[in-house]
Amino acid sequence: MSVHDFCRKFLPANAMGSTVARVGTPIRSDRIARYAALIEREAQTLEELAQRVAEGEALTDICAAWDVPYGRVRTWLSADARRLELYYAAQEFYADAMAAETVVIADGGGGDTAHAALRIRARQWVAARWARERYGDAVQVQHTGDVVVRLTFGEAAALVGASSVVPADGGFGDGEGEI
């Protein structure tokens, strides 16, 4: 039984028309039409988007205000390196604002220090994620110790013949198939 047949069978006759009018396509196609209009005027859309993101508005909130599908806008941004770079640059501007705001909060003193510390940590976290080069934690990896590589006889023979790898004992190991 199709959905249409089900509705005819179980809904009153006068409810059928109002149900069809309220469900589905008009709202969805209207949102898609608004999305298409935004895409057609790409330069203005990108300028407004970048300004709003740089001022701290989330992309999900911007899409909700425009009443356009978030997934489509995100896909549209990701489809072009220039658009995505502009979006990330706007996020970095906001990260700068967050970093500057931490100083203001810290210097504010007074009241609830635990709440102020939480606000500072939240802004530092956002800044570290959106502008990793400037505000992210510096991670330096330094290897110490020996590197041991065990190869089977066939792999060792191939490496010795094809590169400058020389077995430590001058031969092919201890006869057990390993170097």
Domain boundaries, the chain: 1-79, 89-140, 143-179
Predicted local distance difference test score (pLDDT) of residue 154:
64
Q: Is the pTM of this model over 0.75?
A: no
Among 65, 68, 62, 61, CA closest to 27: 68
Using CB atoms within 10 A of its CB, is residue 160 exposed (0-12), middle (13-18) or buried (19+)?
Answer: middle
The answer to whether 105 and 117 have CB atoms below 8 angstroms apart is no
Q: What is the pLDDT of residues 117-165, one digit of tens each?
A: 999 999 999 899 888 888 887 777 888 888 877 766 666 566 665 555 5
Residue type, 164: S
Task: Report the distance separating Cα 50 and Cα 57, nearest Å.
Answer: 10
pLDDT score of 10 more than 90: no
pLDDT score of 3 more than 60: no
CA angle, 88 as apex, 31 and 42 as ends, to 5°?
A: 40
Q: What is the pLDDT of residues 36-88, one digit of tens each?
A: 999 999 999 999 999 999 999 999 999 999 999 999 999 999 999 999 999 99
Task: Report the distance separating Cα 54 and Cα 46, nearest Å.
Answer: 12
Predicted local distance difference test score (pLDDT) of residue 174:
54
